[in-house]
């Protein structure tokens, strides 16, 4: 029985790594048939597969298209298991509002961060791309969000992040703020008063988690678009 | 030696008196708010007005010392002409696509063939090109094109497109082939209207997103088709790719353009070593240009010149808030002022 359970969990992880929606569905159905705890199946099966995917991404064996397809397989598995999960409320998830700041319509990096944070157990509220400043403030206020994630890929829109952080404060909203995206640097993040800065999706998870523990990780992170952090000033090193 | 002669000679590897400094326009935006206010040619109105567009780019050339004229000020003109809905932005944000015409890759057959003399803002850009050629014949004007894969990400949600690279490769090839043919048609019109060289920006085709395998399959052949046609028309080509390109050094060697322009994350020394046959353009950080000290901008520019960059340029589009004196710090370094 134990061996069978381990086998099913492995198959869940493997389906995610192999970007295989069909196998993820089948293995998830096995979970239900064998009366394995669906929460455990997500954490020790699907999410574990996604952790491996993250690793492959950091090692440049997988790139963005692969991550997106792995995530599809993971979500397919979760969809099968969802009806058998305890009600959401009992999970006590941290609420995250995420979006790409107005003026910018690039959202691959944001989508990856969303996938990774979702996978890490955060409750994600995605505002999409080209999001007006006020929408971040309103949504964070309504949801009493724990974290607001702002992304931009363009130098021309990064100043909007500061406006949002100031407006959140003015509105008395205490959500933490994490920023990331091509032109953003840790220094810029600090200057505009962000609580965290993520260089990519894998690191976004670490930073987001650290914001809710009293552990302070160094302000570094890594997402494809988020990978392009301007560590240097260009030129020759 | 005129600025036009210098740039073209630099691209062809002929001897020149000094390194040119340019900012091509298009995705590599060449505009600035101070100058918009001074000339009363302001975003967003400028984007749809050939005369104002010409006036703003001429003033940019005169006041910043950048040695070209760069139009348009965004990378949405082809996508708009192909049915993308554009929001024109405001006085500091560039136009962007807010609604994609394609919901799935296989619907690419529904896209209409592009007519550069009729569709969207393309006629405005061609008209502006004509004005610039007439008014300032000695200053080079690049024809700015968006690479097929990046253009595709302006016509369909990038998440859907990137998944389709693996799930529906045949339809993606169909779409990219269609976009390549249509971009070539627009490129031909740009050249007919007076473009001196072609700059293809392909920000989404970065190795960071795709990796080497997908880059070779979905980017390289289409860029080379475009480059081949532009070469037949006698124009040199610069290709700009965003982000870190270290994973795609090998396929970049097979790119047929004269010159590659890279982002500020890229180490020029490494690129020169990995891609020895290409002229290199770049890569002063636009963040440094906006927020850095003039001294540092001068220092970074000089280091690049001493290293032997073939064309000095910003690593990406200039933010409209970049102070003119910061841009001048870069251009003066090239001119030895």
ipTM of the complex: 0.86
- Which of A58, A84, A110 marks a domain boundary? A84
Those residues whose C-beta lies under 8 Å from the C-beta of residue B282, and which sit 6 or more positions away, are A234, B261, B262, B263, B264, B266, B268, B304, B309, B311, B312, B313, B315
Please check whether residues A108 and A221 belong to one and the same domain: yes
For residue B243, name the pLDDT band (cuts at 50, 70, 90). confident
Q: Is B285's CB within 8 Å of A233's CB?
A: yes
Between the alpha carbon of residue B129 and those of residues A201, B94, B126, B189, B240, the distances in Å are: 42, 20, 5, 10, 21
Query: Which residues in chain A touch residue B287, judged by CB atoms under 8 angstroms apart?
Result: 155, 183, 185, 188, 230, 233
For residue A24, name the pLDDT band (cuts at 50, 70, 90). very high
For residue A227, name the pLDDT band (cuts at 50, 70, 90). very low
CB B288 within 8 A of CB B318: no
- Residue B235 in tokens: 């124009």
Point out the residue among B96, B247, B268 whose CB comes nearest to the CB of A235: B268
Please check whether residues A78 and A6 belong to one and the same domain: yes
Please check whether residues A41 and A121 belong to one and the same domain: no
- Residue B99 in tokens: 């609604």
A13/chain B closest Cα distance in angstroms: 20
Can you list the alpha helix ranges (DSSP code H) found in chain A?
2-17, 21-33, 38-41, 47-58, 64-81, 108-119, 133-143, 159-170, 186-191, 201-211, 224-227
- The verdict on B283 touching A (C-beta cutoff 8 Å) is yes
pLDDT surpassing 60 at residue A222? no
Q: What angle do CA A206, A209, A212 make, to 5 degrees?
A: 150
- What is the C-alpha to C-alpha distance for residues A142 and A134, in angstroms, rounded to an integer? 12
pLDDT, tens only, B311-332: 999 999 998 999 999 999 999 9
- Residue B280 in tokens: 């290199």
Q: What is the pLDDT of residue B93?
A: 85
Mean pLDDT of chain B: 95
Q: Is B243's CB within 8 Å of A228's CB?
A: yes
pLDDT surpassing 70 at residue B252? yes
- What is the C-alpha to C-alpha distance for residues A91 and A70, in angstroms, rounded to an integer? 24
**Quick one: B67 exposed, middle or buried, by C-beta within 10 A (0-12, 13-18, 19+)?**
buried
Residues above pLDDT 70, as percent of chain B: 100
A151/chain B closest Cα distance in angstroms: 15
Query: Which residues in chain B touch residue A157, judged by CB atoms under 8 angstroms apart?
Result: 93
| Residue of chain A nearest B248, judged by CA positions | A60
Highest averaged pLDDT of the listed ranges A86-90, A160-164, B136-140: B136-140
Query: Which residues in chain A touch residue B285, judged by CB atoms under 8 angstroms apart?
Result: 230, 232-235
| A227 C-beta neighbours (distance < 10 Å), count | 23
Q: Is B288's CB within 8 Å of A233's CB?
A: yes
- At residue A89, what are phi and psi to the nearest 5 degrees? -55, -35
Domain boundaries along the sequence of chain B: 3-8+17-335
Chosen CATH of B3-8+17-335 out of 3.20.20.210, 3.10.20.30, 1.20.120.1730, 3.20.20.70? 3.20.20.210
pLDDT, tens only, A73-94: 999 998 999 888 775 544 568 8
Q: Is B265's CB within 8 Å of A232's CB?
A: yes
Q: Which of A42, A128, A126, A26 is nearest to A88 (CA)?
A: A42
For residue A105, name the pLDDT band (cuts at 50, 70, 90). low
- The verdict on B45 touching A (C-beta cutoff 8 Å) is no
CB B81 within 8 A of CB B88: no
Mean pLDDT of chain A: 82
Please check whether residues A31 and A145 belong to one and the same domain: no
Q: Is A104's CB within 8 Å of B300's CB?
A: no
A143/chain B closest Cα distance in angstroms: 26
The larger pLDDT score, comparing residue B124 to residue B244, is at B124
Point out the residue among A105, A130, A232 whose CB comes nearest to the CB of B264: A232
pLDDT, tens only, A52-68: 998 898 888 999 899 89
Please check whether residues A97 and A209 belong to one and the same domain: yes
Residue A234 domain-assigned (yes or no)? no
- Which of A37, A60, A84 marks a domain boundary? A84
Point out the residue among B243, B247, B319 whose CB comes nearest to the CB of A155: B319
Q: Is B166's CB within 8 Å of A19's CB?
A: yes
CB B327 within 8 A of CB B32: yes
A4/chain B closest Cα distance in angstroms: 31
| B48 C-beta neighbours (distance < 10 Å), count | 15
Q: Is A233's CB within 8 Å of B296's CB?
A: yes
For residue B291, name the pLDDT band (cuts at 50, 70, 90). confident
Please check whether residues A15 and A68 belong to one and the same domain: yes
Domain count, chain A: 2
Q: What is the DSSP letter of B180?
A: H
Query: Which residues in chain B touch residue A156, judged by CB atoms under 8 angstroms apart?
Result: 29, 92-94, 317, 319-321
- What is the C-alpha to C-alpha distance for residues A164 and A104, in angstroms, rounded to an integer? 15
Point out the residue among A65, A156, A237 whose CB comes nearest to the CB of B162: A65
- The verdict on B214 touching A (C-beta cutoff 8 Å) is yes
**Adjacent-strand bridge partners of A147:** A96, A176
- Terminus-to-terminus CA distance in chain B, angstroms? 17
Work out the average pLDDT over B139-154: 97
Q: What is the CATH number of the domain that holds A71?
A: 1.10.1240.10
Residue with tokens 């298209």, as numbered in its chain? A65
Q: In which domain, by residue range, is A37 found?
A: 2-84
Query: Which residues in chain B touch residue A63, judged by CB atoms under 8 angstroms apart?
Result: 208-211, 214
Query: Which residues in chain A touch residue B94, judged by CB atoms under 8 angstroms apart?
Result: 103, 154, 156
- Which of A39, A66, A84 marks a domain boundary? A84
Q: What is the DSSP letter of B255?
A: -
- Tell me the Cα Rg of chain B: 19
Per-residue DSSP letters for A44-70? IIIHHHHHHHHHHHHTTSS-HHHHHHH
Query: Which residues in chain B touch residue A227, judged by CB atoms under 8 angstroms apart?
Result: 208, 243-244
Please check whether residues A155 and A49 belong to one and the same domain: no
The larger pLDDT score, comparing residue A83 to residue B46, is at B46
Please check whether residues A121 and A189 belong to one and the same domain: yes
pLDDT surpassing 70 at residue A234? no
Residue with tokens 């008395």, as numbered in its chain? A172
């Amino acid at each position: 029985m134990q061996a069978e359970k381990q086998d099913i969990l492995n198959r869940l992880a493997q389906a995610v790594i192999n970007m295989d929606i069909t196998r993820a569905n089948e293995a998830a159905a096995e979970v239900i048939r064998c009366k394995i705890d669906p929460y455990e199946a997500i954490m020790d099966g699907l999410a574990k597969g996604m952790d491996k995917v993250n690793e492959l991404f950091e090692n440049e064996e997988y790139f963005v298209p692969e991550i997106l397809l792995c995530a599809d397989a993971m979500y397919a598995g979760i969809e099968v298991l969802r009806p058998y999960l305890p009600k959401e409320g009992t999970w006590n998830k941290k609420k995250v509002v995420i979006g790409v700041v107005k003026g910018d319509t690039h959202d691959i990096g944001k989508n990856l961060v969303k996938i990774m944070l979702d996978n890490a157990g955060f409750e994600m509220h995605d505002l999409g791309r080209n999001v007006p400043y006020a929408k971040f403030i309103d949504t964070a206020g309504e949801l009493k969000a724990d974290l607001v994630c702002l992304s931009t890929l363009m130098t021309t829109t990064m100043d909007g992040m500061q406006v949002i952080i100031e407006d959140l404060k003015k509105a008395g909203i205490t959500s933490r703020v994490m920023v990331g995206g091509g032109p953003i640097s840790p220094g810029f993040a600090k200057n505009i008063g962000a609580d965290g800065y993520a260089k990519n999706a894998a690191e976004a998870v670490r930073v987001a988690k650290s914001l809710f523990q009293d552990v302070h990780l160094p302000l570094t992170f890594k997402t494809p678009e988020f990978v392009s952090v301007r560590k240097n000033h260009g030129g020759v090193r | 030696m005129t600025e036009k002669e210098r740039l073209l000679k630099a691209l062809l590897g002929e001897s020149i008196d000094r390194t040119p400094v340019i900012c091509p326009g298009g995705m590599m935006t060449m505009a600035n708010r101070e100058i918009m206010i001074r000339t009363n040619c302001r975003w967003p109105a400028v984007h749809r007005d050939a005369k104002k567009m010409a006036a703003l780019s001429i003033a940019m050339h005169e006041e910043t010392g950048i040695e070209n004229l760069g139009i348009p000020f965004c990378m949405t003109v082809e996508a708009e002409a192909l049915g993308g809905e554009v929001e024109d932005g405001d006085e500091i944000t560039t136009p962007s696509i807010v609604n994609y015409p394609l919901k799935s890759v296989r619907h690419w057959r529904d896209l209409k063939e592009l007519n550069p003399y009729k569709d969207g803002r393309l006629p405005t850009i061609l008209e502006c090109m004509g004005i610039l050629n007439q008014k300032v014949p000695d200053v080079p004007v690049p024809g700015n094109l968006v690479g097929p894969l990046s253009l595709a990400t302006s016509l369909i949600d990038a998440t859907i497109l990137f998944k389709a690279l693996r799930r529906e490769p045949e339809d993606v090839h169909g779409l990219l082939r269609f976009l390549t043919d249509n971009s070539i048609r627009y490129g031909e019109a740009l050249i007919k209207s007076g473009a001196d060289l072609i700059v293809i920006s392909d920000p989404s085709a970065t190795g960071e997103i795709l990796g080497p395998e997908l880059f070779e399959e979905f980017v390289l052949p289409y860029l080379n088709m475009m480059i081949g046609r532009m070469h037949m028309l006698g124009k040199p080509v610069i290709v700009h790719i965003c982000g870190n390109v270290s994973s795609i050094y090998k396929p970049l060697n097979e790119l047929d353009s004269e010159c590659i322009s890279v982002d500020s994350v890229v180490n020029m020394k490494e690129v020169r070593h990995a891609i020895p046959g290409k002229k290199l353009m770049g890569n002063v950080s636009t963040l440094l240009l906006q927020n850095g000290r003039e001294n540092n901008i001068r220092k970074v520019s000089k280091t690049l010149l001493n290293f032997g960059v073939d064309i000095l340029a910003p690593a990406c589009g200039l933010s409209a808030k970049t102070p003119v004196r910061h841009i001048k710090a870069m251009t003066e370094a090239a001119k030895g002022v």
